[in-house]
């Protein structure tokens, strides 16, 4: 009898947990889109509850505060970004082809409007760049992580002989990221997809300028 009761209790608990997880995913899907357009300050527990027809107490139980909702939204956006930009290249070995793929995936992630306002991190970085506190720190950390990831991809490509030995990894990473973010900003503001093609040409030109014959061949094969 006790074993049966325990099983039933466990089933009920599992059901509540899954419903909570479903609600959490629903909320974060909405908050990511809001934040990419209006910024993280556009989020509130009451607004989300009203828009999604959820109880405010239920949303509060999941997140506890506006700040935690903002932080959870950033974490969710990181997972989406990784899924669209990084994960598709998990089987591509280090080299120029992988670097080229990261840039292409980033431009596609922005141009496809995975987030309604374009690149989520570009939007919230502009909002929180001069502030202090946990949300600023979380946003800054995502930017640092992406810069470091691009630098590492370039360094690995250099190590396998795809880029010149004197490659300034930090400089090249800065330049290609700047080109991609400029395309995102202009496209979102002007409603024009043309900047993505210009950014693509600029990124490829910059990478080819520092590539070895081996690296050029790898990028040519990846067209």
- Which string of DSSP letters, residue by residue, matches the chain? -HHHHHHHHHHHHHHHHHHHHHHHHHHHHHHHHHHHHH-GGG--HHHHHHHHT--HHHHHHHH-SHHHHHHHHHHHHHHHHIIIIIGGGTTSPSSHHHHHHHHHHHHHHHHTTSSTTS-HHHHHHHHHTT--SHHHHHHHHHHHHHHHHHHHHHHHHHHTTSB-TT--HHHHHHHHHHHHHHHHHHHHHHT-SHHHHHHHHHHHHHHHHHB-HHHHHHHHHT-
What pLDDT score was predicted for residue 18?
74
pLDDT in tens, 57-96: 989 899 999 999 999 999 999 999 999 999 999 999 999 9
pTM exceeds 0.75 for this model: yes
- Look at residue 7 in the predicted model and tell me its pLDDT: 62
pLDDT score recorded for residue 222: 74
Q: Residue 1 has what pLDDT?
A: 46
Contact between 27 and 54 under an 8 Å Cβ cutoff? The reply is yes
Regions of the chain short of the pLDDT cut 70: 1-13
Question: Under a CB-based contact definition with an 8 Å cutoff, are residues 98 and 157 in contact?
Answer: yes
Share of the chain above pLDDT 70, in %: 93
Residues 6+ apart with CB under 8 A from 219: 96, 97, 100, 204, 207, 208, 211
Question: Are the C-beta atoms of residues 46 and 57 closer than 8 Å to each other?
Answer: no
């Amino acid at each position: 009898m006790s074993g049966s009761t325990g099983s039933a209790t466990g089933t009920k608990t599992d059901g509540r947990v899954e419903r909570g997880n479903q609600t959490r995913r629903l909320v974060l899907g909405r908050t990511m889109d809001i934040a990419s357009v209006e910024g993280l300050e556009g989020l509130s527990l009451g607004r989300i509850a009203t828009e999604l027809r959820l109880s405010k107490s239920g949303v509060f139980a999941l997140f506890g505060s506006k700040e935690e909702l903002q932080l959870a939204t950033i974490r969710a956006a990181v997972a989406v970004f990784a899924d669209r930009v990084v994960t598709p290249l998990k089987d591509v070995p280090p080299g120029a082809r992988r670097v080229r793929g990261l840039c292409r995936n980033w431009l596609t992630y922005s141009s496809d409007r995975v987030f309604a306002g374009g690149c989520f991190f570009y939007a919230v970085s502009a909002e929180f760049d001069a502030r202090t506190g946990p949300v600023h720190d979380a946003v800054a950390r995502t930017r640092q992580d992406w810069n470091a990831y691009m630098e590492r991809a370039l360094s690995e490509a250099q190590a396998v002989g795809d880029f010149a030995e004197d490659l300034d990894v930090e400089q090249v990473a800065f330049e290609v990221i700047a080109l991609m973010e400029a395309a995102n900003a202009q496209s979102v503001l002007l409603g024009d997809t043309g900047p993505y093609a210009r950014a693509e040409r600029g990124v490829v030109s910059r990478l080819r300028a520092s590539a070895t014959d081996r690296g050029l061949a790898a990028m040519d094969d990846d067209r």
